[in-house]
């Protein structure tokens, strides 16, 4: 149920990027303008998420899970109703704050309930990735029937997600045995900072592709809206496989090694997305999805293990602050695309994973968190 709730929240992270082609078509937004929409959704989220993480380290705020899910849905539901660009930015910003409030506490609850296993956290992350993958299809279905005026229908997953989270939390409170809040071990801030830098590189690539891959693939294939929606769905759906595979690979080869090899795969994949014409581009979008998603849950657990006394803060940074910084780079990509071409603007994304690997050099696998007896979650 926690995974299902995660899926419903991350529908709204994916929905903002999925709405981009429709803002371009119905409101004639340029590349820089739609980049601003994505930035509005991620900027406040990135700033607020570490604050919510610090709150989760101090006290249990489980009620945030259903409440923040509803806020996320309301923001996206309102985004298509107002012609004003400023009000559109405000609506997606509200959705971003809801996403920010959800992730740190949910990551803490899921990590404790899973017993700290990499594969179990991979299944929790899978829920979020399925939500991402469903977003373009859900948005396309709504837009086909009503255009941007139909965005209130996008609030339905929020209602389902709030119910799923409430049921999961009630089950934990009444049926699960007391689970310890991890508090042992020393915080390794230098390693955490280097991991954060590597995650930022990953985030810039992911947010950049999420924002522009639909428009780029339409150009490369000569297709219409459906061709772009399919590309975005492939990018997100590949994460469903990649996240689960990441947990299993980490159990066998170690998290650091898997994260490094994933970054190198991303270099090849993004290069293919940028330069390969025709339908073959979809294969490279799928490879990029694998390279970006395999390390996703591993970044979260690594951050928590580097900061064992601040798992909420670690989750807030790895899930939130880094994604927001990725959003900060998106207007730069949009401005470069307006000045040159979208293909030229996306080319630098193929280099950033290499920078991320450099930050990971010398990092050691942290000792997993060892919980100690504590109160029920």
Domain membership of residue 367 (yes or no) is: no
Query: Which pLDDT score, from 0 to 100, does residue 244 have?
Result: 75
Burial of 241 (0-12, 13-18, 19+ CB in 10 A): middle
Mean pLDDT rounded to a whole number for the chain? 83
Domain that holds residue 260: 2-360
Domain membership of residue 371 (yes or no) is: no
Please give the average per-residue pLDDT across 59-88, as a whole number. Answer: 88
Query: Which pLDDT score, from 0 to 100, does residue 191 have?
Result: 93
Q: What's the pLDDT tens digit per position in 260-293?
A: 999 999 999 999 999 998 899 999 999 999 999 8
Query: Which pLDDT score, from 0 to 100, does residue 320 have?
Result: 64
Q: What is the CATH number of the domain that holds 101?
A: 1.20.1250.20
Query: Does residue 108 or residue 12 have the better pLDDT?
Result: 12
Residue matched to tokens 């490279």:
284
Query: Which pLDDT score, from 0 to 100, does residue 258 have?
Result: 93
Q: What's the pLDDT tens digit per position in 87-137?
A: 999 999 899 888 888 877 787 777 767 665 566 676 777 787 788 778 888
Under 8 Å CB-to-CB from 136, ≥6 apart: which residues? Answer: 14, 17, 18, 214, 229, 232, 233, 236
Under 8 Å CB-to-CB from 174, ≥6 apart: which residues? Answer: none
Domains held by the chain: number: 1
Domain membership of residue 375 (yes or no) is: no
Helical spans, DSSP H, in the chain: 2-27, 31-58, 64-79, 85-113, 118-146, 156-174, 189-221, 225-253, 255-275, 281-293, 296-306, 311-316, 322-339, 342-346, 352-360
Pick the range with the lowest mean pLDDT from 145-154, 163-172, 240-249: 240-249
Residue 78 contacts residue 148 (beta carbons within 8 Å): no
Q: Calculate the CA 351 to chain-centre distance.
A: 20
Report whether pLDDT(51) > 80. no
Domain membership of residue 49 (yes or no) is: yes
Q: What's the pLDDT tens digit per position in 23-43?
A: 888 888 888 888 888 888 877
The angle, 0 to 180 degrees and rounded to 10, between the axes of the packed helices 225-253 and 281-293 is 40
Q: Report the predicted TM-score, pTM, of the whole model to 2 decimal places.
A: 0.71
């Amino acid at each position: 149920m926690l995974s299902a709730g995660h899926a419903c929240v991350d529908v709204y992270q994916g929905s903002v990027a999925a709405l981009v082609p429709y803002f371009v078509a119905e409101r004639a937004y340029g590349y820089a303008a739609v980049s601003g929409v994505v930035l509005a959704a991620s900027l406040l989220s990135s700033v607020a998420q570490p604050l919510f993480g610090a709150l989760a380290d101090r006290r249990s705020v489980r009620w945030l899970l259903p409440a923040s899910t509803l806020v996320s849905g309301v923001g996206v539901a309102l985004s298509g109703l107002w012609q004003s660009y400023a009000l559109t930015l405000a609506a997606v910003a509200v959705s971003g704050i809801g996403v920010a409030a959800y992730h740190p506490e949910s990551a803490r609850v899921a990590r404790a309930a899973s017993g700290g296993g990499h594969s179990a956290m991979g299944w929790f992350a899978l829920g979020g990735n399925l939500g991402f993958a469903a977003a373009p299809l859900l948005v396309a279905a709504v837009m086909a029937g009503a255009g941007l005026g139909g965005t209130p229908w996008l609030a339905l997953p929020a209602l389902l997600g709030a119910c799923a989270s409430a049921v999961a939390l009630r089950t934990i409170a009444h049926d699960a045995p007391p689970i310890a809040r991890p508090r042992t071990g020393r915080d390794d801030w230098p390693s955490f900072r280097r991991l954060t830098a590597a995650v930022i590189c990953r985030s810039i690539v992911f947010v950049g592709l999420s924002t522009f891959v639909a428009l780029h693939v339409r150009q490369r294939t000569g297709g219409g809206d459906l061709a772009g929606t399919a590309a975005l769905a492939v990018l997100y759906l590949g994460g469903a496989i990649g996240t689960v595979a990441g947990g299993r690979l980490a159990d066998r080869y170690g998290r650091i090694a898997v994260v490094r090899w994933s970054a190198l795969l991303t270099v090849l994949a993004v290069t293919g997305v940028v330069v390969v014409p025709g339908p073959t581009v979809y294969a490279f979008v799928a490879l990029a999805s694998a390279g970006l998603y395999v390390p996703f849950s591993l970044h979260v657990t690594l951050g928590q293990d580097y900061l064992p006394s601040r798992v909420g803060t670690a989750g807030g940074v790895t899930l939130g602050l880094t994604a927001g910084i990725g959003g900060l780079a998106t207007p730069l990509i949009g401005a470069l695309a307006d000045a040159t071409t979208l293909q030229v603007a996306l080319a630098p994304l193929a280099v950033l994973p290499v920078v991320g690997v450099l930050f990971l050099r010398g990092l050691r696998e942290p000792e997993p968190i060892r919980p100690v007896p504590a109160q029920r979650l």
